[in-house]
Amino acid sequence: MKTTGTLPTTAHVPAPSSGVRAGGDTAKAAAGGSHSDGGTRVAVARLLLERGPVTAVDVAAELALSAPAVRRHLDALLADGEATTREAPRRGNRGRGRPARLYLLTEAGRVRFGHGYDDLAVAALRYLAETGGPNAVRTFADRRASELVERYRDGILANGTVTGRVGALADALSAQGYAAAARRAGNLEQLCQHHCPVAHVAAEFPQLCEAETTAFADLLGTHVQRLATIARGDAACTTHVPLGVPDRGPADDSVGGPRTERSDTTTTSRKGGSEYDHRS
């Protein structure tokens, strides 16, 4: 079977333990605590977070590393889009040579150290529930689910079979960070979302999952059943989509009536990927 979409590649690095102090000591502890490239890169990134904009020379001095080693890690952060540079301001008369480059983290680089977006979203929905009642949360969830698929609607409905629409929906979800894939499982299609960007929020507000399921059913033109969700602690969000319903499309008006769903054995991704098999 072919997967649709890919898993996110940005790794989350946990914050330092409570025994490590903030500031330069934090970065030094991170550098000294691990001899791996990964540990050193985290130390370099943390120093940019705490001291940036900062020069490569200052990073090397602070972490007691060689200049080539520091530049290698800085170049890797630049290549991954986690850091950027700017020229250091000139002081006094302009001398010869290039101006020093200052390094600082981008928003993508800051993500590696965590954020409070989930907590903020939970607090906002709690306030919405308190002031507007449960119906207000459901209305919000319905609107969010609709926006999740609306701009892909025409492309998904251009497929004349349930199988084709499920594959197109998996592509659309993957494009939005859900790492979705589709496969045939007996007399149904199985849509698996291997990542959920709002799982933490949905754990407290299952209306988000329920609204997604309703939106999928409306878009696919058939009843669907959500069997598992990441928000409930499952490995993936798994939705079963039954087959055997008539195809939709121009051919429905042809002589002999509508065609029936084809018995394809696989759902092939237009984006390619590795084989996978998920069973709920």
The residues of the chain scoring below 50 in pLDDT are 1-35, 246-280
What local confidence, expressed as pLDDT, does residue 36 receive?
59
Phi-psi region for residue 221, left (φ > 0), alpha (ψ -120 to 50) or beta?
A: left
Q: DSSP characters for 7-75?
A: ---PPP-PPPPTTSPSTHHHHHHHHHH--SHHHHHHHHHHHHHHH-SEEHHHHHHHHT--HHHHHHHHH
What local confidence, expressed as pLDDT, does residue 51 receive?
85
What local confidence, expressed as pLDDT, does residue 257 receive?
39
Which residues are paired to 190 by β-bridges?
183, 240
In this prediction the pTM is 0.58
Structure tokens at 164: 């084709």
Cα 71 to Cα 67: distance, rounded to the nearest angstrom: 6
What local confidence, expressed as pLDDT, does residue 5 receive?
43
